[in-house]
Chains A and B, each alone.
Chain A
Amino acid sequence: MDRFLFLTFDGLSRGAVYAAFALALVLIWRATRIVNFAQGAMAVATAYVAYSVSDATGSYWLGFIVALVAGLLLGAGVERVVMRFVDHSSPLNGVVVALGLVLIIQGVLGMIYGNEFRPATAPFSRDAFEIGGVALLSRYDLFVFAAVGAVVVLLTLLFTRTPTGLRMRAAAFAPDVSRLLGVPVGGMLTLGWALAAAVGSLAGMLVIPTELGLHPTAMDIVFISAFTAAVVGGLDSPIGSVLGGLMVGLLLSYISGYLGATVAPMAVLALLVVVLLSRPDGLFSRRAKARTA
């Protein structure tokens, strides 16, 4: 039972990161119908910038803030310079361009920083403190929950309570109509990419210290888990992506804990296949039918 509780909390902590990363994928998918396969590489790039800043200044938090700002700028830049010019006549075009970005970003990072793992430090202790005699949560886990929770709350407020959020939703759902109503759709797309990339950067900053460290491909496995989470959630649903992230985190944790860590990546892919075959609209998609009506 103790082991189960430990695995549950560990899974939720990982899952929170997947949730944030999946949320970033969903934000872009909703606005552009592109799965941003470059999101992992983009997040790693900003993490490298953050660690350079932290190394130079000795301040983790300065680096952390720089990572988020770099995410905003990189996301806006990728939309303005690259994605805006993707021909949408085939859905594959965006995917191919995103995969090309992955190669470019990982290549450039390798040239600048080298292709070896660099240790990435966490800002808080990762040693779990004991609750009722069971080691469940570390300070770092609490930090992860707080950071992801804050992002979810802030994005929810942005989208449901502000004029800009209303513009962003309208621009994503009905671009032509929105333009006729005076919504600067291009600007909303740029903002959406910027926000999504910043959320991706946050997820990267949270997860990299818990894995092998900083490497140009450090987010590849995380990407697969988060992509699965987004698909489980239905790709169109921000809430679904958060729930999907937590589910995938729990699943990975239980499987690593009970069956062995080597099985976990296969389990994620198996889940992805099962969901795509049985519920391609995701487990939480109530709206799937209404949309086509």
Chain B
Amino acid sequence: MSALLEVEGLTAGYGAAPVLHDVSLTVQPGEIVAVLGANGAGKSTLLRTLSGLLPASSGRITFDGQDLRGIRVERMVHHGLAHVPEGRGVVTELTVDENLRLGGLWRKPQPSLEPIYELFPRLAERRSHLGHQLSGGERQMLAIGRALAAQPRLLLLDEPSLGLAPKITAQIMALLRDLRDRTGLAVLLVEQNVRSALSIADQGVVLSLGRIVTRHDAATLVDDADLRHAYLGF
């Protein structure tokens, strides 16, 4: 089986100073890969480079056999790549329904939002509420639901647990795993919350100061005390 996403020797950053150095990783179809690491390790920079918000200075990004570098950000969803940015990116001035519609707007014909509302009954109750009226958990659900409205093959998810109660985080993680199992959605999951990320991930990749320092099966990372101490700090 060929990889869905293949990143090779990626170097990128803001201005002249690179944040990411020679990063390589792969995501298989239907696989959940957790990108772990401390604040400032370059996790968000990695996602922003993959979706084209930041230019890569060198390296290759191949998605489903196609070179993604040089493709404009607004075309990425057309290729099957959806990026939920850190802080969730709910458009707070628009309603829940408008936010969700926005996610599938580029598709012809526009997809029905009912499957998304079935997935997130809470959002269905708050259809006509404005984004800024939602709680943190609801915003995260909205951001994920909106990304799913594009029917992507790979979801880039940046810190979904940020600012959420553990119970809500667990719900969202369970939902991601369920989606993967049912639809074959692949997820590249950036998290500081190592335990909850590894609870659903197949692979774990640890970034430190912009370099990949280790990469293992999620189960191995959790079970091996030495690895945990060395790279994850617990």
Contacts and interface: CB of A to CB of B under 8 A. Distances in A.
Given A163-B110, A293-B132, A182 B77 contact: yes
Interface string A165-191: 011011001101111111111000000
B56 to A, nearest CB: 17
Interface in A121-179: 163, 166-167, 169-170, 173-174, 176-179
A182 B101 contact: no
A170 B77 contact: no
A56 interface: no
Given A163-B105, A293-B132, A180 B51 contact: yes
B77 A180 contact: yes
Contacts, number: 75
B101 A166 contact: yes
Interface residues of A, number: 21
A290 B77 contact: no
A170 B101 CA distance: 11
Given A169-B94, A173-B91, A181 B105 contact: yes
Contacts of B94: 166, 169-170, 173
Given A176-B85, A293-B132, A183 B91 contact: no
A184 B75 CA distance: 8
* Range, interface on chain B: 20 to 34
A291 B74 CA distance: 25
Nearest to B73: A179
A290 B132 contact: yes
B127 to A, nearest CB: 15
Interface string B64-86: 00000000111111100011010
Given A176-B53, A290-B132, A182 B74 contact: yes
Interface of B: 51, 53, 72-78, 82-83, 85, 89, 91-94, 98, 101-103, 105-106, 110, 130, 132, 146, 150
29 contacts: A166-B94, A166-B102, A166-B105, A169-B93, A169-B94, A170-B91, A170-B98, A173-B91, A173-B92, A173-B93, A173-B94, A174-B91, A176-B85, A177-B85, A180-B73, A180-B77, A180-B83, A180-B89, A181-B103, A181-B106, A181-B146, A182-B78, A182-B106, A182-B150, A183-B105, A183-B106, A290-B130, A290-B132, A291-B132
